[in-house]
Amino acid sequence: MSQPSVIIGTGPLSPADVVAVTRHGAPVELAPEALAAMAASRRVIDALVDDGTPHYGVSTGFGALATRHIPLDQRTRLQRSLIRSHAASSGAEVDREVVRGLMLGRLSTLATGRTGVRPAVASTSAALLNAGITPVVGEYGSLGCSGDLAPLSHVALALMGEGTVRNASGDLVPAAEALGAAGIAPVELREKEGLALINGTDGMLGLLILASADLHRLLATADLAAAMSVEGLLGTDAVFAEDLHALRPHPGQVASAGNIRALLEGSPLLREQLTSETGRHRFTRVQDAYSLRCAPQVHGAARGTLAHADAVAAVELGSAIDNPVITPDGRIESNGNFHGAPVGYVLDFLAIAVADVASMSERRTDRFLDKARSHGLNAFLADDPGVDSGHMIAQYTQAGIVSELKRLANPASVDSIPSSAMQEDHVSMGWAAGLKLRRAVDGLTRVLAIEILTAARALDMRDGGAAGASGYRSAAPIAAVRQRLRQDVEGPGTDRYLAPEIEAARLLVDDGSLLTAALEALPATLR
């Protein structure tokens, strides 16, 4: 089923628009008003071409070379040379959806009519997106100031019919060949157009929006994992009561507590911990460990961080970032709006939250494996402890990931390094922060998958290996999750090759299958 087109130029794109285009291949279409706005701003540039006054990017060099006046007959070469020299990325190829985010973000700014490019340049950029042509971009090359220069230059290079791209089939081919096969004519850049194609925060913004989309799902999954662990460790759901969280009503905390409360409602295992006569707990624990009891506070704080990041992304999506910029009243003005600090900060902030949520998840997992703390379960959830090792090394894998996430939580945005002969003497490192967060999000996915895999095994062992939701003593949503997991991963038994089971659980977390199973068993959605 084909995706509906995302219309560009009628207002800010939404995060859902960005995800639809970058991740799911939705086509884009430039609105007539965007084409008109671009044509109007291009007339401003054309009027400056031979007026004799230096204009940055129109009749001068770039960066520290801005003092050089460029004669009229060299200005096409100026733009072409800019792109070729700046397409200097190195390292591992970044993912297709990240490059598409670069392309979409820059196209959105072009469509505002504040950059001075011809409509034909934007139309060609849209054609590349729609043809599934993705320029090859290395992970190194952007300092997050003066735009994501090297990554965006590889995109601009492809518009010129140069460089290397992947076609819609994923094959590595020369750009000229891919454009020719798609019937797209390369662009010959004119005054200012090369600069306008590379002077934005589009790479780091795309990384933020993609990470945010994943984290909305993963934080709900973290609540699900915590609920399964509370149930599997025979904890109490009393600490998730609505009136307790109303005493400290951070919105994210309230939402997380409500999710866990809903997921645990009616759990037979938890009811069995109470005597029917007094309503008091059978066990002697007055309070559960922090990793169980304080899950809403940590998950909620992460939600608050994500809400702040979403607010920053919304402002960026409604922005026109270029230097110089064409103002609505027709002036061409230099500015510093390309600096990536606002985006870089929140990318780093989210990496801190991701590391902490994952750290708490790993602590819950570890409790299942310690016979002294698991309340009646076999050591390491092994079938025959000593002969079998159960999930002992699954927790090692989790711990290794969590340790990596703590390193990734170190901020990139404080690590400014000067460039361009000290003209660009303070940079945001937002692109690095975005790539770092992307790796962290993948790590959190794996950590939560291992917790859910472990909690499900523990619950199966408490149920004596009962198969199917009808034999489970879990709350309905948790029973549904266990049942969905068992479609891909066998229940408890003697030791098996564990890596494929971890990967199967990761895929179910990543595509939202386990969360969907829980939601379908709930009367209301999770928050």
Beta carbons of 235 and 288 less than 8 angstroms apart = yes
Q: Is the backbone peptide bond immediately before 492 cis, with ω within 30 degrees of 0? A: no
Q: For residue 419, what are the β-bridge partners?
A: 424
Tokens in use for 412?
């990139």
Question: What are the start-end ranges of the H helices in 370-416?
Answer: 392-408
Q: Hey, CA dihedral for 207, 213, 217, 222, is it positive or negative?
A: positive
| One-letter identity of residue 208 | L
| Nearest by Cα to 455 from 183, 224, 182, 154 | 224
- Integer Cα distance of 350 and 170 in angstroms: 31
- Integer Cα distance of 495 and 388 in angstroms: 6
DSSP E strand boundaries for 131-203 = 134-135, 138-140, 164-166, 172-174
- Integer Cα distance of 260 and 273 in angstroms: 18
- Integer Cα distance of 230 and 279 in angstroms: 19
Query: CA dist 167 to 159, 164, 173, 178, Å?
Result: 14, 10, 7, 6
| Nearest by Cα to 231 from 402, 460, 488, 396 | 460
Place of tokens 């940055």: 56
Q: Hey, CA dihedral for 21, 26, 27, 28, is it positive or negative?
A: negative
Tokens in use for 200?
């934005």
- Integer Cα distance of 475 and 265 in angstroms: 6
Residue 472 among the catalytic residues: no
Q: For residue 6, what are the β-bridge partners?
A: 28
The phi and psi torsions of 135 (rounded to 5 degrees) equal: -60, 145
Query: CA dist 271 to 24, 231, 431, Å?
Result: 44, 10, 50
Tokens in use for 265?
């409602």
Tokens in use for 15?
């995060």
Beta carbons of 75 and 46 less than 8 angstroms apart = no
| Nearest by Cα to 81 from 66, 109, 61, 63 | 61
Helix, strand or coil, per DSSP, at residue 415: coil
Tokens in use for 446?
């794996």
Helix, strand or coil, per DSSP, at residue 6: strand
Q: Which of 56, 290, 345, 497 is catalytic?
A: 56
- Integer Cα distance of 306 and 35 in angstroms: 34
- Helix 32-48 vs helix 119-131: crossing angle, to nearest 10: 130
Tokens in use for 504?
């199967």
Q: How many CB atoms lie within 10 A of CB 147?
A: 31
Q: Among all residues, which ones are annotated catalytic?
A: 56
